[in-house]
Chains A and B, each alone.
Chain A
Amino acid sequence: AQTVTQSQPEMSVQEAETVTLSCTYDTSESDYYLFWYKQPPSRQMILVIRQEAYKQQNATENRFSVNFQKAAKSFSLKISDSQLGDAAMYFCAYKGRYGNKLVFGAGTILRVKS
């Protein structure tokens, strides 16, 4: 079975600074997708960024980028120029290419200080 581990229960960052959230996963599959989701107090899960395992190039979405290390099964999220609106719970998630479910980590609370 696939597992996702987020070892940082909570992180803090100063506004305008950069922060990196860590995620490791375990799978025997070779083709899969990795995601970072943001869950603000409104509770709605919002997709931040997506990485396809067969692509070596790291995904980037504006201020959000990932460091995908397939051999190490590591998938970290870097948030640049942090903003107050980035404060939320962040979840790392895994999905097999032909699977139907997302497997989530336990989450990291991100606090942004002004």
Chain B
Amino acid sequence: DAGVTQSPTHLIKTRGQQVTLRCSPKSGHDTVSWYQQALGQGPQFIFQYYEEEERQRGNFPDRFSGHQFPNYSSELNVNALLLGDSALYLCASSFASQPGNEKLFFGSGTQLSVL
């Protein structure tokens, strides 16, 4: 049973460019959350997708957008990249029918470097 898979594992971009990160949830999971983890810090919640809609959003600008597909996989898009967007981006999946007690499964992340 495959866990949460993310691609690519590493990515280097230039300021002003756009980037798309991808996530496939654990089998049987229908909810995907994205987190940004800056170097030496804890992850910060970006947003969560369920039933192909953004269910909740953290304190991130509109340059960060996402999408969830009918097969529950998800993409995170970041436009107009800034140096400060350099971070590890983690995807986590869960099963929505366990409200309040969701057990999140995390992927290994995509390391984004903005030069």
Contacts and interface: CB of A to CB of B under 8 A. Distances in A.
Interface string A74-114: 00000000000000000101010111111111110000000
A43 B108 contact: yes
Given A33-B100, A33-B101, A45-B90, A103 B45 contact: yes
A101 B33 contact: yes
14 contacts: A4-B42, A31-B100, A44-B106, A44-B107, A44-B109, A46-B106, A52-B101, A102-B35, A102-B43, A102-B104, A104-B42, A105-B42, A106-B40, A107-B42
How big is chain A's contact interface, by range? 20 to 34
A52 B43 CA distance: 21
A99 to B, nearest CB: 8
Interface of A: 4, 31, 33, 42-47, 50, 52, 91, 93, 95, 97-107
B84 to A, nearest CB: 17
B41 A97 contact: no
A80 B19 CA distance: 43
B56 A100 contact: yes
Nearest to B100: A97
